[in-house]
Amino acid sequence: MKSSPKNHLDRIKGRTDPLVSKVHSKEKRWSAEFAVLRQHCLASGLSEKLKWGQACYDLNGGNVVLIHGFKEYCALLFMKGALLKDSKGILVQQTKNVQSARQLRFTSVADIKRQMTAITAYIEQAVTLEKSGAKVQKKDVADYEMPAEFLTRLDDDPELAEAFYALTPGRQKGYLLHFAGAKQSATRVARVEKHAPRILRGLGLDD
């Protein structure tokens, strides 16, 4: 008789995070899928922790993969997925602005079981990658699109320009992505005007 994911988790109880168990116990849409994915991640020898409200698996403090769910699918999110060799062409980049992470998506327990061999191989590859110390080369601020509306605003307001370029690269990228994400020029202008006071105060988009 085959053991269930729950029974397997009981046997490796010492390596599970009770906070993850608590969060997963409240999951309705992907409860069974999360249990199978969790079992597989734990079997890899990675440490389990609750991070960003999700089950995250790390190697010596370096995040390797996490489990998360959405309305249409659940997924394994490989933190350095952009560096993985995607021989099967199954890794998904959530949006064009996601530089490092990549997803393996699933819609059912049966779907997960069909891809079990690939899941094992990708997790093993991700662990090896983490051990190597490899890092994703992320784009510099200069590589991000500077919307014309924002550039004009900076040209017209030297104080705003000085404040923007004094922000950390991460805060600058956040604003550029937010401004460029608007499809219409009027919306881009409105976003710039809305956030100009925050920029002048040295704050990021989410501060």
Q: How confident is the model at residue 13 (pLDDT cuts 50, 70, 90)?
A: very low
Q: Could you report the per-residue pLDDT of 33-85, keeping only the tens digit for each?
A: 999 999 999 999 999 999 999 999 999 999 999 999 999 999 999 999 999 99
Residue ranges matching CATH 3.90.1150.200 in the chain: 5-132
Q: Could you report the per-residue pLDDT of 166-207, keeping only the tens digit for each?
A: 999 889 988 998 998 899 999 999 999 999 999 999 999 888
Q: What is the pTM of this model?
A: 0.69
Q: Is the pLDDT of residue 16 over 90?
A: no
Mean pLDDT, rounded, for 139-154: 87
Q: Could you report the per-residue pLDDT of 90-105, keeping only the tens digit for each?
A: 999 987 767 789 999 9
CATH of range 5-132; options 3.40.50.10490, 3.40.50.620, 3.90.1150.200, 2.60.40.10: 3.90.1150.200
Q: Is the pLDDT of residue 12 over 60?
A: no
Instruction: Name the H helices within 12-156.
Output: 18-25, 31-43, 109-114, 116-132, 148-156
Residue pair 40/94 in contact by the 8 Å Cβ criterion: no
In the chain, pLDDT over 90 holds for what percent of residues?
Answer: 74
Using alpha carbons, select from 17, 79, 73, 77 the residue that is nearest to residue 50.
17
Name every residue whose Cβ is closer than 8 Å to that of residue 140 and which is 6 or more positions away in sequence: 169
